[in-house]
Structure 1
Amino acid sequence: MPSTVSGYRFVLRVPGAAAFFFTAAAGRAGIAMTGLGLVWLLHARTGSYGTAGLAAAGFALAEAVLGPQLARLVDRFGQTRVLPFSVAAHGIAIAGVVLSPVPAAIASAVCAGAAVPQLGALSAARWAHLLRERRADELPTAFSLESMANATAFLLGPVLVTALGAAGHATLASTIAAALVVGGGAALAAQRRTAPPLARERAHAERTLAQPAFVRLALLNLAIGLYFGTMGVSVSAFATEHGVPGAAAPIFAAAGLGGLVSGWLYGLRRHRAPAQLQLVVATAYLTATALLLPLAPAASWLGTAVVVTEAAVPPTLVLLNVLTEKAAPPAVLTQAFTWNNSLSMAGSAAAAFLAGRTVDGFGASTAFALAPVAGLVLLVLSVVHWRCTAPE
């Protein structure tokens, strides 16, 4: 794929870009901390992982189901109008978790998930607004920044929560997470200059979310979620089966760092090949390398295989965002990005359940076989999307 050098400093020099990007990134770190923070908080109060897991599951389910509806309000009324109410409701709900009796705390966790602002989608929509018309070729670089911010948040956020929770400061962990979400969301709402304007003809625009092009992209996000869910369960189970449960954390950390490097390198260049074709190449690589996972004989070998496979993930996520921006009109772009996130979460939850059952019945190595299956689904859908959108 011929390419020319781009660079992150060029997109961050767009007026207002650095301010909204780093603001949203801070808020996303809080979101990455919240679910695990609820587990630590409720377990510290009740001594029950079942109760803690119920609160965290309620939070995640509410976010996945109601997130697109919140995004619809954003597309209809604008980020600067909806965000203040969203972050205020989220902050109040987290306070309810901290201060309320257990049943009310679980209900508050659900409310917190329903109100959590979709800062990744809001930031991506701002990039699209700023770059779409005159600098569209820099969108992959901008979305690579988004991918790295998300990866960093989910790499460091849970580590901070775990450290505070293990030290007996679970309430402080949840408070820091809420402060980041509320502070980041409020600061983003105050940045009116870069907020996407309200678009007309919303009814027609919303119908595009049911068109085949977007449906294919939604299914691709569901499929990448299947991969995520498989890996989360299988790596931990493999390490435990081989008598080195502590190896799971370094493997995840190495995979996360490798993904950051991969995403950074991808975003450095402007790729001339169509995004649809690039997606086929990325998913083919993921599928091929995922075949190594069930064959790993030891944790050290698994770690190498996971790092090699995970290198395909950031470019894949960037390309899915690029293609979503092309498929969805500005009037519904926040919804489109949020639907992608919700479907990825749904796929991850389903795969985690299936992988867990497979581990129980057949072992972790067999569960890893689900990863190349998810990759194959991604590859098939990518090829179909490429063929359907290729010019005659």
Structure 2
Amino acid sequence: MSSATYRTLLRIPGAAAFFLTATTGRPGIAMSSLGIMWLVHDRTGSYAVAGLVTGGFAVAEALSGPQLARLIDRIGQTRVLPPVLLAHATAVVTLLTLVESGSPHGLTTAAGVLAGATLPQLGALSAARWSALLQGGRAAALPTAFALESLGNGLCYLAGPALVTTVGASGDPAHGMAPATALVMGGGLAPATRRRTAPPAAGASERRGAGRSLRRPGFAVQVGVNFGLGLYFGSILGLYLGSMKVSLAAFGVERGAADTAAPLYMVSNCAGLPAGWLYGLRRWRVAPQVQLAMVSAGPALSCRLPLLAVGSFLGTGLVLAVTGMTVPPILALVHTRFSPPGSSGI
């Protein structure tokens, strides 16, 4: 195995430009919700209000993401991204203005909803470009490309929250939203100007085929795997099902060392980076669906395993490291096996 595989991908004309710029914008996406939480809490003194605005942002992002992706598939990335990014920047400025002026919570929440609804999913757009670029004789390189995407996501979602927390803690929390929005704008506008690697707009027959694909078993598998990962990393429902974040917090509190939860969580995330890198460098002979079933068993078992079978912090860290190594291959496999070529679907 050699890193030349990744170098070869990035040497394809136009590939490095869209991948690196989209990756530059992804920390901004990871920073946005936490930045809103810091900002609103600082101005209102209420975690309830901050949670309401941040929750509105997150729900709107989740609901509008597939609709934006459908619009992008129909019209094209280069035509849709500029107005969407402008709307997002306007929504963020409106949110900042309303928070600073002490406006009613309903208006502030509405601005948060608008900011979330106009947030482009740069990772999905980059993956769609890889799918369009690596067709025909290049299709065998798609797993490597999606492993590279997974690695980029992992790095960005480690750096983003740390960056916005550092900026917010060192001065005015409002300053955390400025780099977040700037990164999203820069990471989105750069690919919008690069038409050569943009997937072509889908025709009527392709749109009808995409609608039928929602009823296929592959789409249900993709939804189920991503839903499971969401529970694993800690959602509201995950509180009741033993998500990893909640389990780690309980593990630390039970042993009188609550501050160990964050380092243990970091171990899990950091272990996935080299695993994702190495996964993309190897040509696997096992069928993708078999690989997915095998690696998905790790997160499914680990939510309870650190508490039930491991009694030391070192042992918990080792279990989490092994588990974290499975996440990038899962994401790469889901894209490779079940995503339609050139689609921006989220």
Give the match for residue 311 of structure 1.
Answer: 325
SS state at 1:270 partner? coil
Mapping of residues 92-241 of structure 1, within 5 Å? 92-100=90-98, 101-103=103-105, 104-200=107-203, 201=205, 202-229=207-234, 230-241=243-254
Q: Secondary structure at the match of 1:28?
A: helix
For residues 109 and 290 of structure 1, do their structure 2 counterparts lie closer, same or farther at Cα, with a shift above 3 Å needed?
closer
Code of the residue aligned with 1:69 in structure 2: it is Q
- 1 CA distance for matches of 2:192 and 2:322? 39
Secondary structure at the aligned position of 1:278 is classed as helix
Higher mean C-alpha displacement, 295-304 vs 45-54: 295-304
Q: Confirm or deny: 8 A CA contact 2:232 2:299 kept in the other structure.
A: no
Question: What is the DSSP-based 3-state SS (H/G/I as helix, E as strand, rest coil) of the residue aligned with 1:141?
Answer: helix
Contact 1:138 1:270 in 2 (8 A): no
Q: In structure 2, how many angstroms separate the alpha carbons of the residues matched to 1:195 and 1:74?
A: 11
Change (3 A) 1:167 1:56: same
Closer/same/farther in 2, CA of residues 286 and 233 from structure 1, 3 Å limit = closer
- Which residue of 2 is the match for residue 365 of structure 1? none
Give the partner amino acid of 1:155. Answer: L
- Find the partner of 1:282 among 295, 298, 302: 295
2:196 match: secondary structure:
coil
Aligned partner of residue 96 in structure 1, secondary structure = helix
- How many Å separate the matches in 2 of 1:248 and 1:130? 41
1:28 matched to 2:26:
yes
The residue that corresponds to 1:266 in the other structure is: 279
Structure 2 residue runs of 5 or longer lacking an equivalent are 235-242
1:225-245 CA distance string (max 9 Å, x none): 222221122223332333222
Q: What TM-score, normalized to structure 1?
A: 0.80
Deviates more, 1:4-13 or 1:63-72: 4-13
Matches of 2:108 and 2:338, distance apart in 1: 37
1:17 counterpart (15, 18, 21): 15
Query: How far apart, in 1, do the equivalents of 2:34 and 2:279 lie?
Result: 30
Secondary structure class of the residue paired with 1:161: helix
User: How much has 1:189 moved relative to structure 2?
Assistant: 0.6
8 A Cα contact 2:299 2:326, kept in partner: yes
The two structures, once aligned, show a CA RMSD in angstroms of 1.9
Q: Is the 8 A contact 2:296 2:326 kept in 1?
A: yes
Q: Separation in 2 of the partners of 1:192 and 1:211? A: 31
**1:4, 1:271 within 8 Å by CA — same for their partners in 2?**
no
TM-score (norm 2): 0.90
Question: d(CA) in 2 for partners of 1:196 and 1:13?
Answer: 18
Tell me how far 1:216 sits from its aligned partner: 2.4
Aligned to 1:294: 307
- 2:240 corresponding residue in structure 1: none
Q: 1: distance between equivalents of 2:68 and 2:218?
A: 23
Cα distance in 2 for partners of 1:241, 1:134 equals 55
> How far is 1:109 from its partner?
1.0
Aligned-pair distance for 1:47?
A: 0.9
Deviation per CA, 1:245-273: give whole Å up to 9, x if none: 22122112221111101101111112122
What amino acid sits opposite 1:11 in the alignment?
A: L
Q: CA deviation at 1:4?
A: 9.3
Change in CA separation of 1:174 and 1:85 when aligned onto 2, cut-off 3 Å: same
- Give the equivalent residue in structure 2 for 1:373: none
